[in-house]
A and B are shown apart, each in its own frame.
Chain A
Amino acid sequence: MLGVRELNTAGLGQRRGKVAWIGALALLGTWLAGTAEAQLVVNITRGAETAAPIAVVPFGWQGAGAPAFDLAGVVGADLRSSGRFAPLAVADMVSRPTQAAQVRFQDWRVLDADYLVIGTLTEDSPDRFTAVFQLFDVTRGEQLTGFRLQAGRADLRATAHRIADMIFQEITGIPGVFSTQIAYVSEERRSDGTKRFRLIVSDADGENARMVADSPQPLMSPSWSPDARRLAYVSFEGNQSAVYVQTLRTGTRERVSARAGVNSSPAFSPDGRTLALTLSRDAGNLDVYTLDLTTQVLRQLTTDNAIDTEAVWAPDGRSLYFTSDRAGGPNVYRVSAEPGARAERVTFEGVYNARPRLSPDGKQLAVVYGQSNTYRIGVVTVANGELEILTTGRLDESPSFAPNGAQIIYATREGTRGVLASVSTDGRIRTQIASVAGDVREPVWGPFPRP
């Protein structure tokens, strides 16, 4: 039994969805948005040695009453969470300009700020706001960029993320991922001994969490569609595994595979039309298949008498990487998306390389690397098979690249609790993302939002 609610979709100029229920499904869950249990808290455990000092001055407010939203607070938190920026404390600011004419660069040079962000938020009407911001290079005393953004009240948080994205890209040259979303699974053990499994989608900073699915049975393996509108996942309702594809905005879902045995590990093809998945079928042997979501045509890609699973598509959609223990311990292999081709081995270091996830450029594989009872996140360069271990936990798992390729989010443990963490692809910046309640795991970073 599964209660399913429509998601609120965030985005500039986009209306939020209304709550909708699926008829036959009973409702068990609680709306997560704004509740304490939905919150994830980001702590930087290891920042870049060169985190750039930046002053994000509280935005000016032109409207009735108190400011409708603390844009500067969210922008600063976003930049801080990247580990590449060190925002100045507001209390240390000697002046608080909101317009370019008020800026005295000397004030900021004294504070060793490399960059300065100022702006204003204006209430045009009760549900229409205009945000204006400017980014300055303090050393050179000039503006780097500036934009005007308009949004409804519900999209002010998204507006802040968008501003942070533009600042991040202007300074680092890398697209920001503050406007993206993550999906993850939470498990809550209740005092009566029962468990709740929830599939949750939140903003990349952990805020604005919304429940996608809620079940007393395990939920696992969320996978984003390339347009970020759908999630595929595995649910064990009815004591059997099945793969579902759920449209986030409407909450409607389709059971795309409930064959005998294992139905698992879904992954959308880059064009969103085909789902790779793992089936065991009647023979009980796990193999990787593709399922055309329109025609329902099922094609078997692997035939080895081993565990073949955890498929992920290459960016061009012509091949897939997957885990197989055909040579003993699990390792990563690559196979053509056209059936009949032989799979070739990709990882050779160590005895346990599993759950591959590809970087957006297709050049690196994030894997779970196991060695003498520790499981950590490693990155394998596809071209030469070189492995670099990025994390230091004992039971790290489920790596997922940010769509800009600069960060990997993964699941780890804090004591006995399941928590999320992220590491920069170069291993220099680590952040811990702790959930206030319950265990969280299987984070999957969503794609860039499409206009």
Chain B
Amino acid sequence: MKSSLLILFTATLFTVTACNRGNTLPDEAANGADSGLEDGAATSGDGAGGGIVESPLDAETRRLMEQLVVYFDYDQAEIRPEFTALLAAHGQYLAQNANVALRLEGHTDERGSREYNIGLGERRAQAVRRVLMLQGAAGTQLTTVSYGEERPAATGSDDETWRLNRRVELVYR
């Protein structure tokens, strides 16, 4: 059981890395085309766990590991209860894979001052960072960057758009 979990984690790592490769290319290599995290953030794994016998717990962990966005309330940086399981899965995964690094990208909706929103995005990224570290992730595995309102996942000026933009994206590197 233990070894199959490890294989699962390794397979998941491969999936996550593969899905995010387009986002983590150095700018030079990408020739200026920023692939846009919002497009690639919601990754869907495929091929992970092939040939592995999955118990229900494994499937749940994998499902959680494939979720790479945490959403927030307006002007808030508190982790909502529905995201604690997701962050626990990522935190434990990081704890068991010390060579894996994760970038936490904090974002806000468009309302208010841009630089204040940089602060708010950083606060959200730091809140996620703290939760991951409580699960055993090391500080050296985690970097934060706040984009404030500069890189919205959705465009528009309505509640639903704003909800989708108040987020932290987990970007495995």
Interface residues of A (CB under 8 A from B): 1, 26, 28, 192-195, 216-218, 220-221, 236-241, 260-262, 264-265, 278, 280, 284-286, 307, 309-310, 323, 325, 329-330, 352, 354-355, 368, 370, 373, 375, 394-395, 397-398, 413, 416, 441-442
Contact = CB atoms under 8 A, between A and B. Distances in A.
Contacts of B103: 239
B114 A284 contact: no
A307 B116 contact: yes
A370 B122 contact: no
A4 to B, nearest CB: 13
B122 A217 contact: no
Q: Is the interface of B mostly helix, strand, loop or mixed?
A: mixed
Contacts, number: 129
8 contacts: A193-B39, A239-B24, A261-B122, A261-B146, A284-B122, A323-B116, A330-B116, A394-B157
Given A221-B114, A221-B115, A373-B111, A395 B33 contact: no
Interface string B117-134: 011101101100100000
B173 to A, nearest CB: 9
Given A218-B151, A416-B156, A310 B145 contact: no
Interface in B129-154: 129, 143-148, 150-151
Nearest to A442: B114
A203 B115 CA distance: 25
A284 B112 contact: no
B22 interface: no
Contacts of A193: 36, 39
A218 B115 contact: no
A355 B115 contact: yes
Given A216-B27, A217-B34, A354 B118 contact: no
B39 A236 contact: no
Contacts of B113: 310, 323, 330, 354-355, 368, 375, 397-398
Given A218-B151, A237-B27, A26 B32 contact: yes
